[in-house]
Amino acid sequence: MLKHLYIKNFAIINELELDFNSGLTVLTGETGAGKSILLGALNLVLGDRADNDSIKQGCDFAEIVAEFDIQNLDDVSTWLVSQQLNADEECILRRRISKDGRSRAYINATPVNLQMIRELAEMLIDIHGQHEHQSMMKSSVQRQLLDDSAKHSPLLATVAKLYIKLKRVEEQLQHLQQSSKKQNDRLDLLRFQTQELDALAVEENEYLSLNQQHRRMANAEKIQTTVEQAIHLLSEDENSNVQSALSHIIASLADIIDIDASLSPVSEMLTEALVQIDESVSILQSYGDNIELDAALLAKIEQRIQNILDLARKHRVEPETLPVLHHKLQQELDDIDHADERMDELILEQKQLEEKYLSACEKLSDSRKFAANKLNKAITRSMQTLGMSGGRFEITVVYDNVYNNAPDNTKRSAYGLDKIEFTVTANAGQSCKAISRVASGGELARISLAIQMIIANNSRIPSLIFDEVDSGVGGAIAEIVGQHLRALALIKKGAANQVICITHLPQVASQAHHHLRVEKQTVNKQTTSGVITLDENQRRQEIARMLSGLEVTEQSLAHADEMIGRAQAI
């Protein structure tokens, strides 16, 4: 739900802050007061193309901020999380355009591109009117409206799951078919490569182990000399070695510890050191006994290392990765050797998935046709009360079985095989045509209202804006339009939704729960537009003005009271 709108330096608005509530809110004002400017600012923050001509004259930038309450909108929260954007109970959209033509957009203070703003906006608010924002013109929206009305989520999930599986199998099959054309040449190469790798039979970590062994053997004489010198100095030198010296020191200290016990820790540490030296000598002696000085073995190791390097260079890989390459090439060889079997498996799987997909699509199509028939009747009835007597609404659902003739996989989709189109005629005796071709702006807005009234309980969009929905109607029909709007704002289980309507008709304005008046003022030869939230008395005066024009009379005030009273009684 739209909670707050902030506008600065936009068109003829200096600075404006508006709070919005649930229920029906109407915006009224004289022609040219700036009602369309408010809608233009909102559209801009929702992702419309920026135009620096909309910046207020004499200013360097314009800024619009829209704050939405999303605490009950799981789809919005999920989307925000998926985009790594903050997903608290509120969502703030911000747009800033500069005089130099630059435009910046933000979601919850994070810079984003316009496509992201538009994607999010489609889940937050829907604008119905006489301008290019009429989402009902889009085939995807028409399909979604029908599916939402029929509660098709489980059927759609089944179709989408089968579509994804079928597409994946076909991609695998296509890859195999393309590979088969080159498999003979590839097969010969793979067999030669795997035979080479089989012959060399490099084991995992063998190359690293060989290098370590080679280093030891190549430096065996140096290692042996160093080890022998260490053993000699530690224990074998008859004149002076570390073991003998330490043993003598420990024995000398033992004679005086009885005199001064404070030397006892020193004696213990030296004893521990002697134990460590004894162990070191033992390890060095064992190591020295195993030093290899075999020149033939060294040459063999060097040849093995060279063979590994040569084959790795040939395959342009690191030597230590040869076992991985061997496994990979062997796997590919096995796959090609069994390609015919795998292809037969995939063809069978494809056929089975096609049958399941078509069955699911047919079931979805039948349900859509049933739901469309119910909607057609309900919306047509609603049109009669909205100034389109004799008009007719019809949703056409055409099931396009792509397998009837030649397969055309491009027609398949995760939404099924139906071509869905909203058609309408506003006059009796005429055939229905696509809604985008025959409906005028005012008619389209009223048809949108009729549709929203019918499907509002299943609508995903919490905020609806109707711009000039009352165009071309008056009298009793205008009052019915207002009643429809008021009911739409209260239709979900008695809880108020949010409907915002720009109107020129008192019959519509009298139905509102909240009333805003747009005013234009000229101060110091500067024209500005502002908005006033009307209290009950101001609202009464505004509706009376709308009824009588410039001069508000007692009769128009009484008429306004009567209209407001009738609305509150519903």
Query: In what order do the strands lie in the sheet containing 110-112?
Result: 13-19, 2-10, 61-69, 90-98, 103-107, 110-112
Domain, as residue range, for 274: 182-337
Burial of 57 (0-12, 13-18, 19+ CB in 10 A): exposed
Complete DSSP assignment for 83-115: TT---SSEEEEEEEEETTS-EEEEETTEEE-HH
User: What parts of the chain have a pLDDT lower than 70?
Assistant: 33, 87, 129-135, 179-185, 293, 402-410, 438-442, 445, 453, 455-460, 469-473, 491-496, 570
For the stretch 29-58, pLDDT in tens is 887 767 888 888 999 999 988 888 889 888
In one letter, which amino acid is 65? V
For residue 49, give the 3-state DSSP assignment.
Answer: coil
Question: What pLDDT score does 250 carry?
Answer: 87
End-to-end CA distance of the chain: 24
d(CA 73, CA 93) in angstroms, rounded, equals 16
In this structure, is residue 415 part of a structural domain? no
In one letter, which amino acid is 176? L
For residue 217, give the 3-state DSSP assignment.
Answer: helix
Contact yes or no for 426/384 (Cβ under 8 A) = no
In one letter, which amino acid is 287? Y
In this structure, is residue 256 part of a structural domain? yes
In this structure, is residue 356 part of a structural domain? no
Residue 427 burial (CB count, 10 A): 11
In this structure, is residue 197 part of a structural domain? yes
> Taken in order 378, 497, 154, 401, is the CA torsion positive or negative?
positive
d(CA 333, CA 186) in angstroms, rounded, equals 9
- Nearest Cα neighbor of 287 from 333, 224, 371, 245 is 224
Angle (CA) 236-239-245 rounded to 5° is: 80
CB burial readout 335-364, b (16+ within 10 A) else e:
ebeebeeebeebeebbeebbebbbebbeeb
Burial of 570 (0-12, 13-18, 19+ CB in 10 A): exposed
Q: How far is CA 99 from CA 102, 152, 236, 493, in A?
A: 7, 47, 92, 47
Q: How far is CA 425 from CA 66, 135, 170, 264, 564, in A?
A: 37, 19, 43, 111, 34
Q: Which residue has the tokens 């009837």?
A: 404
In this structure, is residue 427 part of a structural domain? no
In this structure, is residue 151 part of a structural domain? no
d(CA 169, CA 350) in angstroms, rounded, equals 6
For residue 462, give the 3-state DSSP assignment.
Answer: coil
d(CA 420, CA 158) in angstroms, rounded, equals 19
Residues counted in the chain: 570
- Nearest Cα neighbor of 449 from 202, 192, 128, 133 is 128
Residue 12 burial (CB count, 10 A): 17
Question: What pLDDT score does 134 carry?
Answer: 57
Spatial CB neighbours of 347, under 8 Å, sequence gap ≥ 6: 173
Residue 61's DSSP bridge partners are 98
Question: What pLDDT score does 440 carry?
Answer: 66
Count of domains for the chain:
1
Question: What pLDDT score does 561 carry?
Answer: 92
Residue 35 burial (CB count, 10 A): 23
d(CA 85, CA 468) in angstroms, rounded, equals 35
In this structure, is residue 331 part of a structural domain? yes
- Nearest Cα neighbor of 446 from 420, 419, 421, 474 is 474
- Residue 516: in which H helix or E strand, if any? strand 514-523
Contact yes or no for 483/477 (Cβ under 8 A) = no
d(CA 464, CA 485) in angstroms, rounded, equals 10
Q: H helices of 417-535, where?
A: 435-438, 441-455, 475-488, 506-509
In one letter, which amino acid is 435? I
Q: Which residue has the tokens 């509002």?
A: 456
In this structure, is residue 283 part of a structural domain? yes
